[in-house]
Amino acid sequence: MGADHDRRAHRRALRAALLFGSCGALLAGCASMPDSGNLKAVDASQRPDSQSQVRVYAMPPGEDAGPEEIVGGFLEALTSDDPEFAMARKYLTKEASKSWHPDAQTTVLESGPTTGSGSVGNSETGLSFPLTGRKVATVDEEHAYQLDNDAYDQIVHLSQQDGPNGKEWRIDRVPPGVVLGQSDFQRIYWSVNKYYFATRSSGAAGGGQEGLVADPVYIRQRIDPVTESVKALLDGPTTWLKQVVGTRFPTGTRLKADTGTLAPDDQGKLTVPLNAKADAIGQERCTEMAAQMLFTLQDLTSSGVEEVELQRRNGSQLCVLSKDRAESVTARRTAERPGFQYLIDDKRRLVRMPAGERKVDPQPVQGRLGSGEQPLRSAAVSRDEERAAGVSLDGRSLYMGSLVSEGALGKPEVRSKAKSEEDGLSTPSWDGRGDLWVADRDRKRPRLLWLEQGAGEPLPVKIPNLDGRIEAVRVSADGVRIALLVKKDGKTSLRIGRVERTGTKGEQPEISVDGLRRAAPQMEEVTAMSWAGGSRLVVVGRESGGVQQMRYVQCDGSVPAGATLPGLTGVKEIAASEDETRPLVAHSDDGIVRLPTGAQWQTVVKEGTAPVYPG
């Protein structure tokens, strides 16, 4: 039957696109649909704008539907906004419907599943149709997105059964979960950040717990996203992240049995009844639980949740937390809102300008790094904006300097033995714990180094399964995840790792980066990147045979809809703040440029390099 667009001639499952502007958010206003009129066929490969409130509904099998129509109708039904896939189940036998679990996994293909032009078998033994395609990713039962470029090869088997009008074809063997094309996936599914507390091992400085860490998952965006997000949060962190984060919800905490749809009231208050596992918790812990939930729901821009009330199983109140109080309970990020943007000017000094969108000439920072006595090629500013680490012009020395006093610069904290100035030390990066990270790109001894609180003996970081040399490093504000540009065979790719700390209290910890996974797989070459939110990065690169482009990517490797940014010529470096209200800053052929909200790129200074935000 061919690819998505070729199935249109065979399918019986027309999908009705209902505009919310006409029918309201629920179907109540359009419960009776006319037999003709406002029905519009929507092709599976067609993707409405992510912000348009369009719902797509499948139609049941038609009378005397042939095998090809049954297969095509079932595949179309998988792309509808049917909460329980009730219409898709009408294409299955009763036994197949009972054994089919659509929530077990979602397989995302490049362009949707292709069915073979012929079938295997006969009308007595049944018919088999192959489903093939190229995978992009899978979303598992934890709702976690995982890149996957393997071939997809499954079988759909049909047989005839007795129906109200005689014999009818139905599917009796169905592939696991749901399969659909990438464009339909982007229309139907929505990336949501769940939030969990970062845990710090006893061997790391400071001890205890810190702020909240974003754990991105995918939910169906028009199928009760508030309730689904709450359930996903209660399920706990995804497998990739759970080694370094923890939840304050007691083990086994779920919504109270028979809880229906969760929705805020007219004042934005969301009441969440929990099962007995949460009945005995104290007020402080409950408030932290509410903070996790409130920050998770804040990422649902349309949720309207301003306050969360958690309840015991009997309906009594556990605690209440408002959005205004949540930041005082725990920060969603460990980074403060940045006051300035920084760069290296044409005199090789560290300079700064206000972090807002107002255009102001950069001024030298206070301290030795702003004096020009030590020429710099790059720098990183601590997240409290009181210290900076600067790399010398030859790339072989890293200096630490104060931004609030005029003290001496002192000896280098790190030295590289790289022979070429093109190698040497990368631009450093501060995490939200106050620790400093830098890559030494010495070809004979490449390594990633960690300096506790930005001082002392640099500690080599273990990176199992690293395949290539680190060219650039950026640590997230929470200190739990790290982005690396890794070069191998002349090509540079983006990798995301999990920072793990082990050791005994009072001893120097052992730092490792584990669970390396690729992000921005569609780019053959990645040349620059920066964290740009709780789980999002902005990257610069090019696809195979393509031109340079700039886009947002999620740290799980997925690409959100509308991720491409306005074009810019010759981008060499990019800087973003985890505070998403701050504009992007880049070093391009036009100099240092800035992208204000809703505007085009604007030149800030003609001469300058290495723009950075704190971190």
pLDDT one-digit tens code per residue, 385-408 = 999 999 999 999 999 999 999 888
Q: Any residues with CB less than 8 A from the CB of 258 and at least 6 apart, and which?
A: none
The answer on pLDDT for 161 being more than 60 is yes
Output the pLDDT for position 45. 36
Query: Cα–Cα distance between 175 and 158 in angstroms, integer?
Result: 12
Please tell me whether residue 164 adopts helix, strand or coil conformation.
coil
Structure token digits, residue 181 = 């094309």
pLDDT interval class at 152 (50, 70, 90): very high
Residue in the block written with tokens 């690729």: 518
User: How confident is the model over 290-297, as a mean pLDDT?
Assistant: 95
Q: Which domains does the chain have, with CATH numbers?
A: 4-189 (no CATH), 191-329 (no CATH), 340-612 (2.120.10.30)
Output the pLDDT for position 123. 55
Q: Kindly report the number of other CB atoms within 10 A of residue 417's CB atom.
A: 12
Torsion sign (Cα): 315, 319, 325, 327: negative
In the chain, % of residues over pLDDT 70: 86
Of 5-9, 221-225, 580-584, give the lowest mean pLDDT range.
5-9
CB 267 within 8 Å of CB 307: yes
Output the pLDDT for position 372. 92
Output the pLDDT for position 298. 85
Q: Any residues with CB less than 8 A from the CB of 405 and at least 6 apart, and which?
A: 366, 367
Please tell me whether residue 127 adopts helix, strand or coil conformation.
strand
Structure token digits, residue 366 = 């206070």
Query: Cα–Cα distance between 449 and 394 in angstroms, integer?
Result: 19
- Would you list the DSSP string of 314-328? TS-EEEEEEHHHHHH
Within 436-512, residue ranges assigned H as helices are none
In the chain, % of residues over pLDDT 90: 70
Taking alpha carbons only, the member of 78, 160, 177 closest to residue 121 is 160
The answer on pLDDT for 102 being more than 90 is yes
- The amino acid at 332: R
Three-state DSSP string of 375-386: CEEEEEECCCCC
pLDDT one-digit tens code per residue, 210-226 = 689 999 999 998 889 99
The answer on pLDDT for 64 being more than 70 is yes
Structure token digits, residue 406 = 């005029």
Query: Cα angle at 45 between 39 and 46, to 5 degrees?
Result: 50
449: left (phi over 0), alpha (psi -120 to 50) or beta: beta
CB 80 within 8 Å of CB 146: no
Output the pLDDT for position 17. 36
Q: Kindly report the number of other CB atoms within 10 A of residue 259's CB atom.
A: 15
The answer on pLDDT for 52 being more than 60 is no
CA distances from 547 to 312, 524, 567 (A): 56, 11, 10
The answer on pLDDT for 6 being more than 50 is no
What average pLDDT does the chain have? 86
**Contacts within 8 Å (CB) and 24+ apart, 246-253:** 246/196, 246/197, 246/199, 246/209, 247/196, 247/197, 247/289, 247/292, 248/197, 248/285, 248/288, 248/289, 248/292, 249/278, 249/289, 249/292, 250/277, 250/278, 250/281, 251/277, 252/277, 253/277, 253/278
CB 140 within 8 Å of CB 125: no
Q: What is the DSSP letter of 250?
A: P
Of 49-53, 361-365, 368-372, give the lowest mean pLDDT range.
49-53
CB 281 within 8 Å of CB 317: no
Output the pLDDT for position 51. 40
Of 261-275, 330-344, 512-526, 542-556, give the lowest mean pLDDT range.
330-344
The answer on pLDDT for 30 being more than 50 is no
Query: Cα–Cα distance between 5 and 332 in angstroms, integer?
Result: 44
Output the pLDDT for position 34. 33
| Stretch (H or E) spanning 106 | strand 106-109
pTM for this predicted structure: 0.87
The answer on pLDDT for 203 being more than 70 is no
Strand-pair category, 350-354 with 340-344: antiparallel
Within 194-337, residue ranges assigned H as helices are 225-234, 283-298, 323-329
